Chain A
């Protein structure tokens, strides 16, 4: 594993879904599901992506793998330009980048056996014959902890956790380098979640995988991720190394989000000073001018309502999009010129990864 070399680079990625009206389907606006998102993931690293429903985290994961056609931006995975690739080139890239979906019930064809589900990518992308494919399917079933004897059974005969293992085995079939895990444990029971997360960690160590782990579960992301990106209304509001983000969240939204997670400890819960956010997330079709979080932010001031803050480095390796930090900078630097910093979105620098 090349230390620090980014395997995945995302620059200015936007995914806008058109809103149409009337019988002529005239375009009347757009839902800015993902808006100018930039980040990179080092080889062997797990980037956790957190945020509430509708913040664009799943759309972002899908756009990176070009399951949608993004509106703008550039995505490089393992050196290849994913968004510029023509259909044939894209097909050749597919084995390198795979996805594990949230709902194993919906993402597995109920009329196919486990062997044919896991083996399907092998038909598409390899020249293995029937016996060779079955051998590979058995290998994959061993790797994810499924009993080979169940290869001819159907998805409904398995429990939720086992179905997720089938989905993971399918994603592994073509030896990918990068896997987008989109809420892979959200549909599972607590005692089963730990089994699946441990499996993902084992597979990462064994095959040198790189993950984008999308989840709304902040505790689990703290466990599995090496770095964490926080999304709000289609944008990254903070991105930092895991320990920095959880110990010293810089963005008021990250602070509120962490404070809202109930902890399994009655003593802490009784003592907690919670930041209770008022109101709901605004519509991504009509985001507020200025900072998207300004409508709910407990520390909002005039500038937040008119000017969109850029993502900037507030501590080594920690980036946040918030005017509070800019204001602080200006004060300490005693330099009037700092205030004039342009609102252009800043591309995050490639960072030192910390492969596990």
Chain B
């Protein structure tokens, strides 16, 4: 873990534009956030909200073209990830930043045994001998709860079930004891009982290893159970950022409120009818000049359609990108 008390990761004004057949799409716009050591930041948003693209961009994992990453800096361990030479970035990825993706079958190589795939970063980044790497790999598989770990090092990905494969992915991500783990929808492809196992594992690993985690998901239930802080994304920007209890108890952005309202409850009162957010999420052909949610927002007013709101603080560690939360506006209303 970094010695300084500052944030592990500090992202400033990150923007990503993607060149598609239909033209330029401004997938991420002016994203700024900081991650504290040991913190679990949940990132929620629907498909196309820019949550995955932004994380891929700061890791330098987006091919360019079609992607065009601008803004920054993205400070990690005293260096700007966006301006690091590819070789140095390679040394950061997998060693100091680990990542886990949604589908373990496509991220594991089917023709190599899982032991080899766990040992690869250990030998590459830490320069361990084959013997030492093998021992460490067995330890890691054991850590993520795979029974009979040493014997299973020689097995291939297809010999593991979905949940076990995701455990292998987590073992690879944790191999070099990263300061930061980025998990992109790591439990979305799994069944609920297996998801419960993985969430339990992550809680346990956080206690043991204490790394900072960015957890991307669209499942508000998962976020409620594991996150310290939540970042809600819509239309390529952050619309609300708050401690987890605040987001659920006191959501301030109309989108965050509506999103929480559309999810049916498993217990307690059952709504006769589900609340709906009418319309579709936007596809941003131009950098947003107005609030991206304005077209679907029940509380939108004239200003929302001409100016993109800045993020206004509404409480400790809680800010909202909405004109309704603009202190200047509140003064006018009260005065």
Contact = CB atoms under 8 A, between A and B. Distances in A.
Interface in A288-317: none
Given A193-B262, A219-B263, A246-B267, A261 B46 contact: no
B163 A191 contact: no
B24 interface: no
Interface string B201-214: 00000000000000
Given A52-B192, A260-B196, A274-B200, A222 B274 contact: no
Interface residues of A, number: 41
Contacts of B192: 52, 216, 218, 257, 260-261
Interface stretch (A79-87, A128-136, A263-271): A263-271
B162 to A, nearest CB: 8
B46 A190 contact: yes
Nearest to A161: B280
Contact of A262 (B46, B162, B197, B221): B221
B87 interface: no
A112 interface: no
Contact of A195 (B219, B222, B276): B276
B245 interface: yes
User: How many B residues are at the interface, by size bracket?
Assistant: 35 or more
Contacts of B271: 223
Contacts of A266: 224-225, 244-245, 248
Contact of A267 (B197, B245, B273, B278): B245
B193 A262 contact: no
A258 interface: yes
Given A53-B191, A194-B275, A269-B224, A222 B270 contact: yes
Contacts of B161: 280
Contacts of A257: 192-193
Contacts of B163: 280
Contacts of A272: 225
Contact of A198 (B164, B219, B263, B276): B276
Contacts of A223: 264, 270-271, 274
Contact of B46 (A189, A269, A274, A277): A189
B265 interface: yes
Interface of B: 46-47, 161-164, 191-197, 199-200, 218-225, 244-245, 248, 258-260, 262-267, 270-271, 273-278, 280-281
7 contacts: A260-B192, A260-B196, A263-B266, A263-B267, A264-B263, A266-B225, A276-B197
